Amino acid sequence: MGNKNSTQSSDRNRLDEDIKQLEDILKAKKSAQQFVQFLSPGTLFSETSTQAVTDLKDLAFVCKEAKKINARHGASPYGFKFVDGNGKALSGTYYITGKVLKYDDIVESDTTSILRSNMKCNGWAFVVENSNSYRTTREFDVDDSVIGWDGVEVVSGNDPALKSYRKAFDTRCKNYYGGGISDNKEF
């Protein structure tokens, strides 16, 4: 009789261990449904590479992983964002280093006329310029951040001063384009 109870107890312990292992596997699978999508300069569109992550807050780790990426033509990532298993964005873009430029600070010239025109037409108050490998200029939105290679945020798109300028710029764009496009209007 004693052997039967110890066998049942032993079986129960193994079953508990198996259940714990299955719970751990399910937990790992659930957390693996989050990915970091690295963005590197491409010809027309960004080149992307994706890997699973468990911690969306460990930006320093992600920056270290970014240094390992060697995209087409030797490009390295200018930034990354977090996505779910379906590719839906879970964050804005984290630009790894870079300089945020506002529309009014970009002097009109032959080399900037297309950039300024694109910003005005698309309602982009800010762009970020990054040159980790090739110079890349992208829209800088409210959910985006510029971070250092250490993962520490340098500029937040949600900064009150940027939000204020963005709101005023949006109004300018609406006023400029609201009545139809005219070359005679002041922007």
At 154-183, the pLDDT tens digits run: 999 999 999 999 999 999 888 887 755 455
In a domain, 117, yes or no: yes
Structural domain tally of the chain? 1
Determine which helix (DSSP H) or strand (DSSP E) holds 25, and give its type and residue range: helix 2-31
In a domain, 48, yes or no: no
pLDDT of residue 133: 83
In a domain, 21, yes or no: no
In a domain, 54, yes or no: no
In a domain, 172, yes or no: yes
**How high is the mean pLDDT of the chain?**
86
pTM: 0.77
In a domain, 111, yes or no: yes
pLDDT above 70 for 2: no
- How confident is the model over 36-58, as a mean pLDDT? 90
Q: How confident is the model at residue 55 (pLDDT cuts 50, 70, 90)?
A: confident
Q: Which positions ≥6 away from 133 have C-beta within 8 Å?
A: 40, 41, 74, 75, 76, 78
pLDDT of residue 85: 87
Instruction: Give SS3 for 113.
Output: helix
Q: Can you give the residue range of the structural domain that contains 152? A: 96-178
SS (H, E, C) 144-180: CEEECCCCCEEEECCCHHHHHHHHHHHHHHHHHHHCC
In a domain, 148, yes or no: yes
Pick the closest to residue 127 from 145, 103, 151 (CA basis): 103
In a domain, 143, yes or no: yes
pLDDT of residue 146: 97
pLDDT tens across 63-102, in order? 999 999 988 888 899 999 999 988 899 999 999 999 999 9
Determine which of 13-17, 57-61, 147-151 has the lowest per-residue pLDDT on average.
13-17
Highest mean pLDDT among 12-21, 113-122, 142-151: 142-151
